[in-house]
Chains A and B, each alone.
Chain A
């Protein structure tokens, strides 16, 4: 019986270094994407590990509409990995917001607690707080965008090509520029604190 590790390290019928090659090729590109989404390098690395873990596990079973993922072309696997990074990242952000809400409720009861403070060895608390606030502003602006616009911005500014973005989001290649143009305009407005040009209807006119 093949184990999960067998699939990840190369089992009979599959090039021994297929999984390793994919990891070496895509891990350095996925971590910045996850980091931009989550705002934390360590959490991003953990998320991408989780995504590759799922890829390794997927080698044991066929998806319900085709051959096993690891038997598919690199660009298909890459698109799958990016999609799962975005979806899992969004999940974590939602979980974090729920947790933040709970912390904020606690802070109201105990003013000495600071939910934003995540001190590191070389950061003073005020600087850490400022950085956390800036990070949260970016995240809040991104959150205000319709989902595909947000995904396009994240992918593009993490260095992915239009073809990769289209494959990841399942949209036409020609739509990528449209989503980017709208997304960047909405992001500018949201980041500047102007909600007038953002909103869930901004995706209208393209696919949704």
Chain B
């Protein structure tokens, strides 16, 4: 007979016949009997309240739903084929495996679908996956966010034409997206609409001597965590990396847009006259990252800091007009557009894209500032990102959210 009381989780599993039986122990342990009784009552109550409100779909209803789905899919081939022909790497097609690397955002988050060179597929390690995602989030994806912002402003908001810095990030908002869908529809294929230039095309973070050196280059003081909040075994002195500011400019071109719309059989679409020659400029701030390695030299905690992102439109169009045009493009998924439109304070809210099948998120606060905790769905790690005093801050690592929160709240 077991003398150690099983925990409530094991008892709960046993109630569902999903775990080993503690029968022998239960017959002699009054405490466990009481726990089991409480668990049973809670489970019955939840089952009663949460029971399905209606019967599951019948076979006939399922067939009808399948037929509806087919009908929707049949409406898609032309644009999908065209989008694929224009941008999908052949290796990404499921029936022509060539071992290409999967498509991902570039360090600057720009034009992820324009890859053309073959590269061997590498299976990233879990740690590498987490850190790749968080390096993107903290260090480079802001440009993509800002471009996504250009799609965001809700209807009814009019922006004055010809002004500068129409957008300045002061707060954050999560928007979820389906990476497969975004990749397939070519969501970020702005180069099809004009000319994209970046003044720092090889803008990768480089290691600097210390925090003071990074602060000198970035032009802002670098916040550091209380060392006692770092996980055991983590180095107390971080590796410091710095990425300079950069600007990405998309200058709209009527002829290029025409060719693109023709290629996807959308002759009804055209670049508005006011947008021809106008430039959407996204200013990505300098970014400093502090990486605290564990004993095995793998990152235990990563802290990213940047100034705010700014977006402006130069020329005869306004940011609002640019946004309206981009929102109307056929390759913008309605679900994403709907989320972006629902952001109220569009001139100051930076969307944080969260892949719907890989991460979950929840709202919280860090030292009083609204923040988002993001968890990798596979349990590999967490991150928290927030904006305070004109600065975007992020802390990430293979830690529990509560541990990350302590680190985040200790920054000074």
- Is A130 in the interface zone, CB < 8 Å from B? no
Interface segment out of the listed B6-14, B221-229, B260-268, B303-311: B6-14
Interface residue from A70, A147, A159 paired with B94 (Cβ < 8 Å): A70
On whether the beta carbons of A170 and B378 are closer than 8 Å, the reply is yes
CA distance A71 to B13 in the complex (A): 32
With A27-B65, A53-B73, A184-B45 given, can you name 4 additional A-B contacts, CB distance below 8 Å?
A: A5-B74, A63-B102, A200-B364, A208-B400
Interface segment out of the listed A104-112, A115-123, A175-183: A175-183
On whether the beta carbons of A181 and B12 are closer than 8 Å, the reply is yes
Known interface pairs A54-B178, A169-B377, A170-B378; A68-B129 also in contact (CB < 8 Å): no
CA distance A58 to B357 in the complex (A): 12
- A-side interface residues, number (CB < 8 Å): 89
Instruction: Identify which of B12, B179, B356, B401 gathers the most chain A CB atoms within 10 Å of its CB.
Output: B12
CA distance A53 to B80 in the complex (A): 13
B-side contacts of A20, CB under 8 Å: 66
CA distance A182 to B184 in the complex (A): 40
On whether the beta carbons of B180 and A175 are closer than 8 Å, the reply is no
Known interface pairs A4-B76, A57-B181; A29-B56 also in contact (CB < 8 Å): yes
A-side contacts of B52, CB under 8 Å: 32, 35-36, 158-159
Contact with A along B216-248 (1 / 0, CB 8 A): 000000000000000000000000000000000
Which residues from 82 to 128 on chain A have a C-beta closer than 8 Å to any C-beta of chain B? 83-84, 87-88, 91, 95, 98
CA distance A169 to B178 in the complex (A): 17
Contact with A along B263-276 (1 / 0, CB 8 A): 00000000000000
Closest Cβ of chain B to A208, distance in Å, is 5
CA distance A162 to B13 in the complex (A): 8
B-side contacts of A91, CB under 8 Å: 176, 335, 339, 356
Known interface pairs A8-B73, A9-B70, A80-B357; A31-B51 also in contact (CB < 8 Å): no
On whether the beta carbons of A2 and B93 are closer than 8 Å, the reply is yes
Which residues from 1 to 41 on chain B have a C-beta closer than 8 Å to any C-beta of chain A? 7-13, 16, 18-19, 38-39, 41
On whether the beta carbons of A1 and B84 are closer than 8 Å, the reply is yes
On whether the beta carbons of A27 and B66 are closer than 8 Å, the reply is yes
Instruction: Identify which of B129, B178, B181, B375 gathers the most chain A CB atoms within 10 Å of its CB.
Output: B178
Contact with B along A6-39 (1 / 0, CB 8 A): 1111011110000010011001110110011001
On whether the beta carbons of A147 and B360 are closer than 8 Å, the reply is yes
Name the prevailing secondary structure of the B interface residues: helix
On whether the beta carbons of B80 and A184 are closer than 8 Å, the reply is no
- Is B103 in the interface zone, CB < 8 Å from A? yes
On whether the beta carbons of B7 and A50 are closer than 8 Å, the reply is no
Known interface pairs A3-B76, A200-B364; A87-B402 also in contact (CB < 8 Å): no
CA distance A12 to B65 in the complex (A): 24
On whether the beta carbons of A58 and B180 are closer than 8 Å, the reply is yes
A-side contacts of B400, CB under 8 Å: 204, 207-208
Residues of A within 8 A of B (CB): 1-9, 11-14, 20, 23-24, 27-29, 31-32, 35-36, 39, 41, 45, 48-50, 52-54, 56-71, 80, 83-84, 87-88, 91, 95, 98, 138, 147, 153-154, 156-159, 161-162, 169-171, 174-185, 187-188, 191, 200-201, 204, 207-208
On whether the beta carbons of A154 and B42 are closer than 8 Å, the reply is no
Interface residue from A83, A176, A183 paired with B377 (Cβ < 8 Å): A83
Interface residue from A9, A64, A174 paired with B104 (Cβ < 8 Å): A64
CA distance A154 to B50 in the complex (A): 8
On whether the beta carbons of A61 and B50 are closer than 8 Å, the reply is no
On whether the beta carbons of B129 and A4 are closer than 8 Å, the reply is no
Which residues from 342 to 373 on chain B have a C-beta closer than 8 Å to any C-beta of chain A? 342, 356-357, 360, 362, 364
Using CB atoms, name the residue of chain B closest to A182.
B8
CA distance A69 to B102 in the complex (A): 13
19 A–B contacts, CB within 8 A, in A order:
A4-B73, A5-B74, A23-B65, A24-B62, A27-B65, A50-B335, A54-B180, A56-B69, A63-B180, A65-B123, A87-B360, A147-B362, A153-B46, A157-B50, A170-B376, A177-B9, A180-B43, A207-B379, A208-B375
CA distance A166 to B43 in the complex (A): 18
CA distance A174 to B52 in the complex (A): 25
Instruction: Identify which of A48, A83, A147, A181 gathers the most chain B CB atoms within 10 Å of its CB.
Output: A181
On whether the beta carbons of A200 and B42 are closer than 8 Å, the reply is no
On whether the beta carbons of A61 and B335 are closer than 8 Å, the reply is no
B-side contacts of A57, CB under 8 Å: 80, 178, 180-181, 184
CA distance A184 to B35 in the complex (A): 13
Using CB atoms, name the residue of chain B closest to A50.
B335
A-side contacts of B39, CB under 8 Å: 181, 184
Closest Cβ of chain A to B42, distance in Å, is 4
- Is B68 in the interface zone, CB < 8 Å from A? yes
CA distance A39 to B58 in the complex (A): 19
Using CB atoms, name the residue of chain A closest to B48.
A157
CA distance A128 to B365 in the complex (A): 37
Known interface pairs A61-B93, A88-B356; A178-B12 also in contact (CB < 8 Å): yes
Closest Cβ of chain A to B337, distance in Å, is 12
On whether the beta carbons of B46 and A184 are closer than 8 Å, the reply is yes
Contact with A along B289-332 (1 / 0, CB 8 A): 00000000000000000000000000000000000000000000
CA distance A180 to B41 in the complex (A): 13
On whether the beta carbons of A188 and B377 are closer than 8 Å, the reply is no
Interface residue from A13, A28, A31 paired with B95 (Cβ < 8 Å): A13
Using CB atoms, name the residue of chain B closest to A137.
B49
Contact with A along B77-92 (1 / 0, CB 8 A): 1001100110010001
